[in-house]
Amino acid sequence: MNLLRGPARFILKRLGWKLIDLPQRPAKAVVIAYPHTSNWDFPITLLALAALPYGAQWVGKDTMFRGPLGPVMRSLGGIEVNRRQHTGFVERIADEFRRRENFHLIIATEGTRSRQAGWKSGFYRIALAAGVPVIMSVVDYGKREVGLLSSLMLSGDEDADMARIAACYAGRQGYHPENASPIRLL
């Protein structure tokens, strides 16, 4: 990834993006990606991961991993999830956090690019079960900023935690702002 750092930074800068990072990243964290309103979020995020450099893995729907693109997606850090049935994903990922010394997993909280009534709760349940913080990440098309905003340890009080997360994302804008889901757990 270090070989890609310079070119990724150059490309982001040429495209008009400012890269943002935390002064210090925790060794383990669930990284939430919001808002997720466009397919463009994916290539911008991959550039940011290379530019930081940041060896995070990411969660994607299982259909992204079918066919010849499957190995490519996995090599880019992808972990597939079947959203159509209960597979024990939260428990498996929490166990993975407990096993590793360093692990960051990016999850698009909305689970899709279209507007939903709120966020899927998997990221929240994983972070609590694994005892790791949540890092808020963003691809902000309004400010042309991409990267990591803030880190917080969840308290288990969903309302208070979601209010803190919402405050962090205040004023942030997706490619299609009308598709951004309200910041609340379903």
Q: Is 165 in contact with 152 (CB distance < 8 Å)?
A: yes
Task: Quote the pTM value.
Answer: 0.88
Residue spans of the domains in the chain: they are: 2-179
CATH fold, domain 2-179, is Rossmann fold (3.40.50)
Q: What is the pLDDT of residues 87-99, one digit of tens each?
A: 788 888 899 899 9
Q: What is the pLDDT of residues 10-37, one digit of tens each?
A: 999 999 999 999 999 999 999 999 999 9
